[in-house]
Amino acid sequence: MSSAVEHSDAQFGKATPGKIGMWIFLATDGMSFSGFLLGYAVLRASKNWPHPADYLGIELSGIATFILVCSSVSMVMSIDHCKRKNRKGMLNWLLATILGGAIFLGIQVYEYVHLVNQGIGLSSFYDGPSLFGSTFYMITGFHGLHVLSGVIYLICIYRQALLGKYDNGDYNELEIVGLFWHFVDLVWILVFTFIYLI
């Protein structure tokens, strides 16, 4: 009896060039977010920084965080249904992922409009250091661009799925977009924790 576990999944454990490319991109992108968060931490430690809970909508952002995390789960479900050649399930879960990302972006736009109306802009803050607004918009905006890119990427994959490209159970491209989407979700958990909660 062989000690190695046999898998019926032909793609299990295989790193395609697309996956390797995405991992390299995510590693470098992770360094960008690390730099932004480190810069934020240094500024916050060296200034008389306002308490974020006094100005940011933590409850609404918490809901947005929950939606984004759920969209990661729906991405996993879409890949699972593709593996099982369940076209309808794959399309439905992929659409749920797209909707989760779009709702997150809508909440972020709503929050930005609300903050600007309160006098917290990119270079102005009525009640404290202007760097508070600058760093907030820079970090959350950079992440928002990633979510927007991810939603567009997912829409392109969804279109390909509608055309039947993944009906044969080849989920490699779904896994690649899934890697990006999980990264975006993970980064947001860090951003939410450092910017909103601490």
The predicted-structure confidence for 37-68, as pLDDT tens digits, reads as follows 999 999 888 878 888 888 888 999 999 999 99
Assess if residue 23 is contained within a domain.
no
Assess if residue 97 is contained within a domain.
yes
pLDDT of amino acid 128: 65
pLDDT of amino acid 3: 43
Expressed as residue numbers, the domain containing 139 is 53-197
Q: Average pLDDT for residues 105-117, to the nearest whole number? A: 94
CA 109 – CA 148 distance, rounded (Å)? 12
Assess if residue 38 is contained within a domain.
no
Q: What is the DSSP string of 81-146?
A: HHHTT-HHHHHHHHHHHHHHHHHHHHHHHHHHHHHHHTTB-SS-BTTS-HHHHHHHHHHHHHHHHH
Strand partners of residue 82: none
Assess if residue 129 is contained within a domain.
yes
- The alpha-carbon radius of gyration of the chain (Å, integer) is 20
Q: pLDDT digit string (tens) for 141-177?
A: 999 999 999 999 999 999 999 999 988 988 999 999 9
Assess if residue 118 is contained within a domain.
yes
User: What is the number of structural domains in the chain?
Assistant: 1
Handedness of CA 25, 186, 54, 49 (dihedral sign): negative
Please answer whether residues 72 and 184 qualify as being in contact, where contact means their C-beta atoms are separated by less than 8 angstroms: no
Report helix, strand or coil for 176. Answer: helix
Looking at residue 58, which CATH number applies to its domain?
A: 1.20.120.80
Chain-wide mean pLDDT for the chain? Answer: 89
Assess if residue 18 is contained within a domain.
no
Determine the straight-line distance between the first and last CA of the chain, rounded to whole angstroms: 53
Assess if residue 1 is contained within a domain.
no
CA 169 – CA 85 distance, rounded (Å)? 5
Assess if residue 9 is contained within a domain.
no
CA 83 – CA 105 distance, rounded (Å)? 29
